[in-house]
Amino acid sequence: MNKNIFVIFGVSGLIGTELAKTLHKNNEYTIGITRNINKTKKKLPFLDELLDTAYIKSNTFNTNTNNFIFINLSAEPLIGLWTKTKSRRVLESRLDGINKSISLIKKYNLNNSTILCASGIGIYGNNFTESQSEDSKTSDDTFVSQMSKKIEQKLNSSEISKNINMRFGIVLSKNGGSLKYLNLIYNMGIGGPIGKGNQWWSWIHIDDVINSILHIVQNNLEGPINITSPNPEKQKDFSKILAKNLHRPSLMYTPAFVLKIILGNFATELLDSKKIVPKKLIDSNFKFKFDFLKDALNNIYNEK
């Protein structure tokens, strides 16, 4: 029986770290790809192999009958001002894992290969009323939507038969991500509705992110896949639930300029509305651990 080999680019990031931990618990062979070997080795000492992104070489690739699952999570953070230099780094960092995965597959004739690549729900247009599934029209209106389309187009043109674009929503975790910055805003006492707060926020708990990735691999799903909870929240309701867990007020309207000071151009993504439906996950009988925001945030802030 062929063995599964998981190759994770960006293994030391928020999602990569949790995915590696789960794969280790499941006794799956995992190769981490990183720019910082020493730091990642201390953080994830259990990895079966740890390779430098600048020099990816391993005898494991010589056994090309195994099933290689390349998971591309490496990414320059979107937080900050999107200068030309920053924008180039943001895009190139996301394309790097795809390019290197394709190169390894072709070099070693890894015919039993799957590539999963991080994309995002920013690929969809701003919509306050209609739900958007994987079948919905994508957009070119913003930097994030343009970037996401370039990432997906690169993967789709790779000639790799099995590829998956993972369109992540707002990932919720106690270990970082969007909540790190939202916590800062609320602890400053200026948390609350952004604008009128009627924009939809599509979110997902980190546990469901990891479980959905494994579900995708185990069930041979392909194409673009929305990785969000089936129950998005309006931002004003999200704010109330978050404030309750932080024991902070949610009375003030958070000015857009304050968000931009803290988040840079990424603030525009929080002002847009995305009511996303994870249709492919639902249709393939994926079981969400946290369907509702109140349960997800209660787990993050109150359970030990």
CATH architecture, domain 4-172+203-230+275-289: 3-Layer(aba) Sandwich (3.40)
User: 114 and 164 in contact (C-beta within 8 Å)?
Assistant: yes
pLDDT in tens, 149-185: 999 998 888 877 789 999 999 999 999 888 988 888 8
User: 172 and 206 in contact (C-beta within 8 Å)?
Assistant: yes
Q: Computed over its alpha carbons, how large is the radius of gyration of the chain?
A: 19
pLDDT in tens, 105-146: 999 999 899 999 999 999 999 999 999 999 999 988 888 899
Cα–Cα dist 16/10, whole Å: 6
Kindly state the percentage of the chain with pLDDT values over 70. 99
Cα–Cα dist 187/77, whole Å: 22
User: 79 and 266 in contact (C-beta within 8 Å)?
Assistant: yes
Per-residue DSSP letter, 121: G
Residue 21: what pLDDT? 98
- Ordered by start, the domain boundaries in the chain are 4-172+203-230+275-289
